[in-house]
Amino acid sequence: MDDAAHPHAFSGSRTAPVGRSATSGASRAARSTEIGGWRALWRLDRHCVRIIEVRDESGSRVSVAGSPDLAEMRERWPDLTPLWDAVRHDLWTSVATAAGRG
């Protein structure tokens, strides 16, 4: 993917595990993805990405009542498509990495 051709390419996104309890398991660990001044806190819930929190760089929050899934957040907040794309990319990167370990 050419970053110049795709201004919202994923090279600028950052993801990191936020933490997990001993009983939560890897799939329920919260993760954080950041891109373009936005940060999404999310977790994998079975086969669904649940958005826990979304903030901009000033700390303002986007309403995520009820831990909506990624598809619902795309519908609610289409202006944040680069963030949702980065979350999806980070999800698949972590799935591929986990699959390579086994």
| CA pair distance 53, 30, nearest whole angstrom | 10
Residue 37 counted as domain residue = yes
The beta strands (E) that lie in 1-62 are given as 14-19, 30-35, 38-45, 48-56, 61-62
Residue 32 counted as domain residue = yes
pLDDT in tens, 5-26: 333 334 455 555 543 323 234 5
Structural domain including 57 reads: 10-101
State whether the Cα torsion 74-55-48-32 is positive or negative: positive
| CA pair distance 15, 90, nearest whole angstrom | 7
Residue 1 counted as domain residue = no
Residue 5 counted as domain residue = no
Taking CA 67 as the corner, what is the angle to CA 38 and CA 43, rounded to the nearest 5 degrees? 70
Instruction: Tell me, yes or no, if the pTM score tops 0.75.
Output: no
pLDDT in tens, 35-70: 999 999 999 888 889 999 999 999 999 989 888 999
